[in-house]
Amino acid sequence: MLKRSLFILLSFIVSLSLAQDPKMGGILTWGLSTDPPNLDPHVSSGASAATVKMSVYNGLVRYDKDGQIVPDLATDWQISEDGLTYTFNLRDGVMFHDGTPLSSADVKFSLERIINPDTGAYLASAFGVIESIDTPDDLTVVLHLSEPHAALLPYLARQEAEVVSKAFVEGGGDLNLEMMGTGPFMFVSREPDVSIKLEKNPNYYETGKPYLDGITFIPYADEQTRVTALEAGDIDLIEYVPWKDMEAIEQNPDLELHADEGAAFMTLIFNQERKPFDDPLVRKAFGYAIPRDAIIRVAFFDRGSPITGGLIPPNSPYHNDELDGTYSYDPEKALSILAEAGWTDSDGDGILDKDGETLSVSLLSTSTYGMHMQTAQVVDQALREIGVDITLELEEWSVVVARQTESDFDFRVHGLGVLVEDPDFLAGYFMPDAFYAKISHMSDEMYGEPLTVGRTSTSEEERKAAYLEFEKAFLDQAPWVHLTWRTQGEATQSYVKGYSHLPGPLWGHSAYTLKETWLDK
């Protein structure tokens, strides 16, 4: 007995001495990949801007470092049986940076501001189901929905759902130029393209946090410059680590890589209004003709994995294992599917043809981003090998964006993200009224229905079945052909402690852990 107590006591002492106490103070310098075009928390302007905003603002709920939804400004919440009423109880005593207290009116104001189309808010359509908002008292907010929305909490946990001060905005504060929230850090100053400075909020609601005295964000437009700045010790942390540098960073004892996959994917988008992509057989054949491993090797330096089945990430409970392996690299199969569609090399010139016409297609991609260009080059080469007459159009990014909006392309390489930690992210791309569904002329109604069931059903079984149905139909029709997952990561100096890269689709929310970050030097 005595021995056992002694052992427990000893192990307790050992574990105490092993766990380091965070050191207070110091300024963390964060190398951004781009200068935030605006500071408005509700308007999306990319992951870099989101990182800055989420250090200054809080939402009702947020993600912790393991990717779980946890209380933030709301201490707890109740969802009604029918999924139509959400009641949030707010934390008492939270202060905005200007010293005014947070109340339910600020939450109502923020959500209404997001829903208002004039704001141009990122979550406007996701929150479209919110019919009305009640504030029975200063610390209670009740949302009434027009129909159940299974992914409402994950959307509320996103950076773009943060709470702003009603009085500040109505008093003429410009959210685009200034940040004023309740978060762990307070806005100090911004010089465009030079820096954004934040300082510790001494009245932050979590007593004792943040550990840092402040954060300085410095934009680095060039990725090589960003990596060099980290290696030279000019800055403490960089985002968007280029794949080619990941290995060197892992092997450098002074640096640490924080990365994982399941957040971003490469895909081929077909314009189904143009021949030959109006024929699903041609699209499917292309799905078998492309060596996804070669893309991972060439474009991502082996930091990725192939997508051979559905698009719901492998780490999601909704991922359909049985669909994995639907597509594989099989040029013979590609040729036989094309033959089924009528495309054969009848005149022996090495190019497939049908009724006297050759199989000529043009692939749109960009020279602005290496990963896009290299992916396109692999696709180009692979299709050429099976006898497709392919033209590779490498345009500057802004030209690609303009041509895409006009649907002026045969098919294109794109890199997109899983935008919310829920299969409802598919709706953002493939609902019939979504931008990408429109530009690729995916008019087929067969996708809209299961996606709507998936969004509005309160039964997990029903949701799972709906998403399986969606993914099966998608793989069968191949309106897009998905290629690979890619790794996404940040790198820090090894003295940066307490920073965590959030798993999978949540990587863009890793800055939630900055209040627990400290410098061991």
Partner 1 sequence: MWSYILRRVLQALVFIFLISVLIFSMIHIVPGDPVLTILGDEGASQEKIQALRTALKLDRPLPVQFFDWIGAVVRGDLGESLISGRSITPDILTRLPRTFELIFLAIILSLLVGIPLGILAAVRRNHALDWLISLSAMLGLSTPVFVTGTLLTLLFSLRLQWFPSTGYVSFQEDPLAHLQRLILPSISLATTTSAIVMRMMRSSVLEVISLDYIRTSRAKGLNQAVTLYKHVLRNAVIPVVAIIGVQVSTLIGGTVLIEYIFNWPGLSSMLIKAISQRDYPTVQGVVLFISSLVIFINLLVDLSYGMLDPRVRYT
Chain residues binding partner 1 by CB under 8 A are 37-38, 44-45, 176, 191-194, 218-222, 225, 228-229, 231-235, 368, 395-399, 401-402, 404-405, 434-436
First-to-last C-alpha distance (Å) of the chain = 42
Least separation in angstroms between residue 169's CB and partner 1 is 18
* Closest by Cα among 299, 208, 313 to 260: 313
Least separation in angstroms between residue 488's CB and partner 1 is 18
How do beta strands 411-417 and 360-366 pair? parallel
Contacts of residue 90, Cβ cutoff 8 Å, sequence gap at least 6? 73, 74, 75, 102, 103, 104, 107, 138, 139, 140, 141
Least separation in angstroms between residue 401's CB and partner 1 is 5
Q: What's the CA gap between 15 and 9, in Å, rounded?
A: 10
DSSP state, residue 344: B
Least separation in angstroms between residue 465's CB and partner 1 is 29
Q: What's the number of CA atoms in the CB half-sphere (13 Å) around residue 483? A: 32
- The secondary structure of 350-361 as a DSSP string is SS-EETTEE-EE
* Closest by Cα among 84, 55, 59, 79 to 69: 59
The residue (of 419 and 483) whose beta carbon lies closer to partner 1 is: 419
Helical (H) or strand (E) element with 469? helix 460-477
The residue (of 395 and 462) whose beta carbon lies closer to partner 1 is: 395
The residue (of 10 and 401) whose beta carbon lies closer to partner 1 is: 401
The residue (of 288 and 429) whose beta carbon lies closer to partner 1 is: 429
Least separation in angstroms between residue 165's CB and partner 1 is 22
The residue (of 25 and 46) whose beta carbon lies closer to partner 1 is: 46
Least separation in angstroms between residue 20's CB and partner 1 is 27
* Closest by Cα among 165, 166, 217, 153 to 190: 217
Assigned token pair, 473: 């139909």
The residue (of 359 and 364) whose beta carbon lies closer to partner 1 is: 364
The residue (of 31 and 498) whose beta carbon lies closer to partner 1 is: 31
Least separation in angstroms between residue 437's CB and partner 1 is 11
